[in-house]
A = this chain, B = another copy of it.
Amino acid sequence: MLLKRRTTLKDVAARAGVTYQTVSKVINGRAQVLPETEARIWEATRALGYKPSHTARSLRVQRSLMIGYSWVPTRPDQANHILDMFLGSMIEEAEAVGYHLLPFPYREGDAQVNGYRELIDSGRVDGFVLSSVNYDDPRIRFLQERQYPFVAFGRSNPAIYFPYVDVDGAAGLRLATEHLLSLGHRRIAVLAWPAGSQVGDNRLSGFLAALAAAGVPKRPEWMVRAEGTFEAGRAAAARWLAGDPSERPTGIVALNDTLALGASRAAQERGLLPGRDLAIVGFDDAPMAQYVWPPLSSVRQPIRLAGRKCVEVLVALLEGRTPAATQVLLTPELVVRASSGQQQI
């Protein structure tokens, strides 16, 4: 497809009767020019529809004004209901401060770091936003070695310092647990993830803290660590609920909604209705939480805020400003629906 040549500084300059360097100055606000010259120049840029070439500018100033971002794809049967909001908010915030996002493919294992390396070496991005970070994340190590700026969405080993934005998962589970405690529940079980995940451990700690604060002893058999799947939640809850009614859990909190929905299903398979016969609280507030029966109480993360903060902190770093805080912890909120029995069902 043949395109007419783009309009450049020189075109504008010719029309305004100055040299192109002067136009550049005016456009960048570093001008010492007569008001009337400036007016002519602006008039010319408008008339010609001139926009500076990002590529040329970027070459000259040796900065790409781009932020690299890659995410681990979810399994086909699961939804990443967060991506829309997270990406969207990052893109908006970035554009507002003159940046753009460069999404790049996720790669498995050792190859993962190569994706980051290539973008650095080819000068395509000025920094990165990481997500799905975990303990000993190889990307963090690599970027710190190369001294390349990044912000992580999520925390890693407490011992290493790096800029991050995270949602306080412990606070979230504390909220969920305290909710059940306040409704009078004392026999509360938890559906957790396998040990070794930063997010999982963190959320679980909130559950334990809430129990401890209320003086309710924890019962190891009521803490299941399994894959975060529907079936895992269903199986664990089925076991719990098979016990003596006066001795089984009356409340269940889960580290994500899928687990919680599995538990809800298990309960209903035994003829127990969540919200009436037991209470269930999930985490993530996936959109389906409101459409299932009974609607699922859940913990909602301020995702859009997180996305904005990630970009805000990173850009501050890139521009050499010291950000207000380089480690940001956001507080989630509890969304109470019928499954935890607060509302009539």
Q: A interface vs B, CB < 8 Å? A: 1-3, 6-7, 49-56, 58-59, 64, 71, 73-74, 76-81, 83-85, 87-88, 91-92, 95, 100-106, 118, 121-124, 147-149, 230, 258, 261, 265, 268, 286-288, 290-293, 317-318, 320
A149 nearest CB neighbor, chain B only = B1
* Given A59-B55, A84-B79, A123-B53, A147:B3 Cβ within 8 A: yes
Are A6 and B53 in contact (CB-based, < 8 A)? no
Contact A122 B54 (CB under 8 A): yes
Do A293 and B268 have beta carbons less than 8 Å apart?
Answer: yes
How far in angstroms is the closest Cβ of chain B from A67? 11
Q: Which of B49, B55, B292 sits near A292, CB closer than 8 Å?
A: B292
Complex Cα distance A54/B104, Å? Answer: 15
Please state if A100 and B100 are interface contacts (CB–CB under 8 Å).
no
Q: Are B123 and A77 in contact (CB under 8 A)?
A: no
Q: Whose C-beta in chain B lies nearest to the C-beta of A59?
A: B55
Neighbouring B residues of A73 by C-beta, 8 Å: 84-85, 88
If A1-B320, A54-B124, A102-B100 touch, whether A287 touches B77 (CB-CB below 8 Å) is: yes
Leading 6 A-B pairs by shortest Cβ distance: A288-B288, A51-B121, A79-B81, A79-B287, A80-B84, A51-B122
> Are B76 and A261 interface neighbours, CB within 8 A?
no
